[in-house]
Amino acid sequence: MAKIKIGIVGCGFIANRKHLPMLLLHNDVEVVAFCDIIKERAEASAKQFGTADAKVYENYQDLVARKDIDVVHVCTPNSTHSEISVAALQSGKHVMCEKPMAKTSAEAKAMLDAAKASGKKLTIGYQNRFRTDSQFIKKLCDQGDLGDIYLGKAFATRRRGVPIWGVFMNKALQGGGPLIDLGTHALDLTLWMMDNYEPVSALGSTYDKIGKLGSPANGMGLWDPEKYEVEDSAFGMVKFKNGATVVLEASWAINMIVSNEAMTMLCGTKGGADMFPATGPIVRVADFQSAEGLHVRVNGENAGKLFIQNYAMGAEFIGSGEKKEDFAGGKLEMTTWLNAIRNDTDVVVKPEQAYTVTRVLEAIYQSAASGKLVEL
């Protein structure tokens, strides 16, 4: 069987820590092309992860023009996701684009249209769906164990976790802060488990209270308050066609003891489920290799009695040499994506679903700016 030839556009943190290590676990995959506007970054990635004859590019158009490349992974700032993905799809490549799908819903729609027109596969990098706790709760939902799920809470909160590298604080390139960066994961998880993609309205608030002040306690290092252009926390409430409600919380910096990153809580007519306890010390997704591991809590009523059942999923991490990767779910995500290409089957993270996530996030931002409810 011919090997799957892949090109990487954007050779920064997410490419080097998630995409490339996970791709190299597959013997039938070759990463043959690397592109970055900083050539040295592309060269470094090519040396570590590429084939002996891997080529390096500074312009993504040169990479997607190659006839021998089957798949393109887009790992660039949010503002370029659509442009690069559309070009790759139109040139006959399958595309995995990092989350969020795009900076705006219009850009996301262009990606969706390009995928349909080209007949090529498009998926978005929501690796948190593939964690063991996510898979467990999804199975409960699909089996009907929770009944009709009418309330979901999507959590993406860090007490102090402002990413100081790259362009995360650049509003023009990213479109926002923790809402579009972290909130996108939590919202994707929640909508996927509820299997509800018909939002009708959104109300939101965003705050810039700590970002402009700076914080010496930031777990990722000091940031320059003068360069902080995005919100440091955001909150939204979304109503759906069937009457269901989703509440979304996202923050990089907030005076809150408990941090819940990329997690969900679901309430249904038969039962409820959540990730981790609602109180007490919570480890971030990036810390899942700790002894705490992954946890799910299911609650409901049985024989006239209320019950709470705790499930320990076990620690989850990916080993790459002596280095442990910190993207729980990344291995299964990549395997599932490559299997869809190998077997010509549907992708798990469907672009239509990711498009809805982008629409909701955009509506929350619009509501926060206008102070009004936004109809979808």
Rounded Cα distance, 24 and 128, in Å: 20
**In this predicted structure, what is the pLDDT of residue 288?**
37
What percent helix, strand, coil does the chain show, rounded to 5? Answer: 35, 30, 35
**Spatial contact of 273 and 267, defined as CB atoms under 8 Å apart:** no
Contact 153, 272 (CB under 8 A): no
**Helix, strand, or coil here: 20?**
helix
Residue 33 pLDDT:
98
Per the DSSP assignment, residues forming a β-bridge with 323 are 320
Contact between residue 250 and residue 178 where contact means Cβ atoms under 8 Å apart:
yes
- What are the structural domains of the chain? 4-125 (3.40.50.720), 128-328+350-375 (3.30.360.10)
Asked if residue 296 lies in contact with residue 99, where contact means CB atoms within 8 angstroms, the answer is no
Q: Are 196 and 146 a contacting pair, CB within 8 Å? A: no
Q: Which pLDDT tens digit goes with each residue over 182-192?
A: 999 999 999 99
For residue 178, the tally of other CB atoms under 10 A from its CB is 29
C-beta separation of 276 from 255 below 8 A: no
pLDDT reported for residue 178: 98
The pLDDT of residue 319: 36
* Pick from 180, 212, 187, 220: nearest CA to 78: 180
At 269 the pLDDT is: 98
| Whole-number Å distance between alpha carbons of 130 and 330 | 7
- Report the relative pairing of strands 71-74 and 94-98 from DSSP bridges: parallel
The pLDDT score that the predictor gives to residue 287 is 41
pLDDT of residue 286: 43
In this prediction, the residues of the chain whose per-residue pLDDT falls under 70 are 1, 276-294, 314-326
| Per-residue pLDDT, 326 | 52
C-alpha distances (whole Å) from 367 to each of 104, 205, 256, 310 are 14, 7, 24, 37
pLDDT in tens, 334-357: 999 999 999 999 999 999 999 999
